[in-house]
Amino acid sequence: MIELRNVSLKYGEKEILKKVSLTVCDNTIKAILGPSGVGKSTILKLMLGLIKPNSGQVLVDDTDITPLKESALYGIRRKMGMVFQGNALFDSLTISQNLGFFLRENMNLPEEEVNRRVTEQIQFAGLEGYEDQLPESLSGGMRRRVAIGRALIFKPHMILFDEPTAGLDPVSSKKILSLISSLRHHNNLGAVIVTHIIDDVFNVADSVAVLYQGEIIFDDVTEKLHESKHQFIQSILSDKILEL
Amino acid sequence: MGSENEKPTFTRMKTGESTVIASHRMQFMPSAVILILGKKLVLQLKDFFLTMQEFFFFSLKAFMAFPKMIRYWRDVLDQATICGTDSIPIVLVSAISIGALLAIEVGNLLEDFGAKTMLGRSTALSIIRELGPLLMGLMLSARFGSRNGAELGAMQISEQIDALRAFGTDPIAKLVMPRLLAALIMFLPLTALSDFAGLQSAAYMADHYHKIDPGIFWNAVYPRLVAKDFVVGFLKAPVFAIIITLVSCFNGFSARGGTAGVGRSTIKGIVVSSGLVLIANFYVSKIVLENM
Ligand SMILES: Nc1ncnc2c1ncn2[C@@H]1O[C@H](COP(=O)(O)OP(=O)(O)O)[C@@H](O)[C@H]1O
Ligand SMILES: [Mg+2]
């Protein structure tokens, strides 16, 4: 479980988050919806402890991670897998090296176990035959699947997606979304999906929080989004995509 | 009581209202400008010291990561190839051309004094103490520094550095420490190479341009060199290695704002590290020569 309690964050004079509170339960898919530049990626980075809030607490499985040092955070981060907005694959490594990279780096696993897990992810992500290719030679959707595989390889119990369908064609988007919803059924995984595309929310999310001008203006099950009277939510429901 | 004392002053000012306003107007413009400039300056100073503090901790972490060199020995080797072996051509070219130029110009000068036999000594001193290491430093700052700035900057903006942290790898140990260690190891032989090539080309020019017998040239080089000359020259290698690597890596890590940001941080890395190399060159010479 991940919980933000009254989290505020400023970059210089610019207030990005104003007392944001948010809970993500295990085994559910939670979407965070908001326009570009509102601070969605920032929220994911806060959850991982990559950045610290100016005030408030971030709790991961009931541990407050805000006062923790980097070395103490490594163990906690391994409970979560992160899929970055631009995938953040290592462009000088092949697909299977990318997948196995952090297992080799941070776990003292025997090489056979590493290879076994890499093969498992290759199959799960449907990347057979591309093991020895570099990321740049793959399509956007495939690269996204490699990034998802890399996040899953530690067997986390929560996975964080930063704009999983942004920049993908509709077919690839659909594939990624079905991959995401299959995660919960097969692996009992919780997920946070940050997005500015409202279709993503309706396709996979159990509940959704809407972030607008630094504040959470809606936080409930997805179906209730239609009942919201908030002007911003009404406008995004009619426009489908937030391009603000 | 205080307020009663102030009241009369206020009214007195009011009686001379027109003059007050006139003088106020004249002062208003400059004082507002100074105020804005002052505020800007304070902000920039604050920014500067914050950056300095960040840089200090960044450097500290890079040195503290040295025990992990066993784990990252492959990265150290890779970086040693990049900053060492691959830099040999550029170091050779710059050392040879400067050695040759130095021999020609200083030879002409010494000829006027009838002291051409001293050419070996004067070129040897300037190359070993100053020009050999300095040229190596500047070339490496351009070559190794730009590579670090661009590579790490690109990794930063594509979130690869965040990814390392997110999955539990210390990016400074993985990316910066191997570069620093490789530079510390490789800059010494590169300095020696730079010295050697510079002197050889000076000797060649002395022979072919000034018609100074190589025997005479080298005789003025070897027997006169003392330990101090080598200390000055070779102490610069690790100093430059630290400056160039840490400054360029730090700037790469601080890259923000897309590809243009990578360009900016790379340039900043090279400019700052070249400047610091020049300054450090002066101070190492000064300190060692004064104290040895
Ligand atoms: N390191 C940083 N320094 C300064 N401002 C930043 C930094 N990172 C993000 N921001 C700003 O914070 C805001 C939120 O960023 P982000 O979380 O990436 O938004 P998004 O919702 O699009 O993911 C943006 O306006 C961005 O410019
Ligand atoms: Mg974002």
Q: What is the pLDDT of residues B18-49, one digit of tens each?
A: 444 445 555 567 788 899 999 999 989 998 99
Query: Is B158 domain-assigned?
Result: yes
Domain boundary among A120, A137, A155: A155
Domain match, A70 and A136 both: no
Query: Is A84 domain-assigned?
Result: no
A213 CB near ligand 1 (under 6 Å): no
A45 CB near ligand 1 (under 6 Å): no
Residue in chain B closest to A72 (alpha carbons) equals B168
Domain match, B47 and B99 both: no
Query: Is B62 domain-assigned?
Result: no
Please state whether beta strands A158-162 and A190-195 pair in parallel, antiparallel, or not at all (unpaired).
parallel
Domain match, B109 and B209 both: yes
Domain match, A130 and A35 both: no
Domain match, B105 and B194 both: yes
Rounded to whole angstroms, the Cα distance separating B273 from A180 reads 46
Query: Is A131 domain-assigned?
Result: yes
The DSSP symbol for A211 reads E
A136 CB within 8 Å of a chain B CB = no
B169 CB within 8 Å of a chain A CB = yes
Domain match, A117 and A133 both: yes
Domain match, A218 and A163 both: yes
Domain match, B32 and B105 both: no
Query: Is B47 domain-assigned?
Result: yes
Domain match, A148 and A202 both: no
Query: What distance in angstroms lies between residue A86's CA and the mean position of ligand 2's atoms?
Result: 9
Query: Is A127 domain-assigned?
Result: yes
Query: What distance in angstroms lies between residue B151's CA and the mean position of ligand 2's atoms?
Result: 22
Domain match, B23 and B130 both: no
Domain match, A113 and A231 both: no
- Of B244, B275, B224, give the one whose Cα is nearest residue B120: B224
Domain boundary among A140, A155, A170: A155
Tokens of B10: 């206020």
Q: Do B168 and A102 touch (CB under 8 A)?
A: yes
Domain match, A99 and A59 both: no
Query: Is B284 domain-assigned?
Result: yes
Query: Is B61 domain-assigned?
Result: no
pLDDT band at residue A213 under the 50/70/90 scheme: very high
Query: Is B175 domain-assigned?
Result: yes
A106 CB within 8 Å of a chain B CB = yes
A242 CB near ligand 1 (under 6 Å): no
Domain match, A170 and A228 both: yes
When divided into structural domains, chain A yields a total of 2
Q: Do B169 and A85 touch (CB under 8 A)?
A: no
> A150: which chain B residues are within 8 Å (Cβ-Cβ)?
167
Cβ-nearest to A50 among B158, B162, B169: B162
Domain match, B41 and B185 both: no
Domain match, B118 and B242 both: yes
DSSP for A155-181? --SEEEEESTTTT--HHHHHHHHHHHH
> pLDDT at position B7, please?
39
**∠ CA(A27), CA(A32), CA(A35), 5° rounding?**
165
Domain match, B11 and B113 both: no
A40 CB near ligand 1 (under 6 Å): yes
> B166: which chain A residues are within 8 Å (Cβ-Cβ)?
48, 50, 77, 82, 84
Average pLDDT in chain B:
89
A70 CB within 8 Å of a chain B CB = yes
Query: Is A85 domain-assigned?
Result: no
Give the domain extent around B114: 70-291
Domain match, A6 and A37 both: yes
Q: Which ligand is nearest to the CA of A34?
A: 1
Structure confidence by residue, pLDDT tens digits, B95-144: 999 999 999 999 999 988 888 888 999 999 999 999 999 999 999 999 99
Domain match, A142 and A176 both: no
**Res. A241: pLDDT tops 70:** no
Domain match, A165 and A234 both: yes
Residue in chain B closest to A105 (alpha carbons) equals B169
Mutate to test the interface with A, among B156, B159, B254 (most CBs of A within 10 A): B159
Query: Is A195 domain-assigned?
Result: yes
Q: Do A105 and B168 touch (CB under 8 A)?
A: yes
Cβ-nearest to A106 among B158, B162, B168: B168
CA-CA-CA-CA torsion for B175, A37, A70, B50, nearest 10 degrees? 80
For the beta carbon of residue B280, count every other beta carbon within 10 angstroms. 19
Percentage of chain B beyond pLDDT 70 is 90
> A48: which chain B residues are within 8 Å (Cβ-Cβ)?
165-166
pLDDT band at residue B1 under the 50/70/90 scheme: very low
**Res. B5: pLDDT tops 50:** no
Domain boundary among A155, A183, A198: A155
> A77: which chain B residues are within 8 Å (Cβ-Cβ)?
165-168
When divided into structural domains, chain B yields a total of 2
Domain match, B169 and B245 both: yes
Domain match, A200 and A109 both: no
Structure confidence by residue, pLDDT tens digits, A116-145: 999 999 998 889 999 999 999 999 999 999
What is the per-residue burial (b if ≥16 Cβ within 10 Å, else e) of B229-241?
beebbbbbbebbb
Give the domain extent around A163: 2-79+157-239
Residue B149's SS3 state is helix
B47 CB within 8 Å of a chain A CB = no
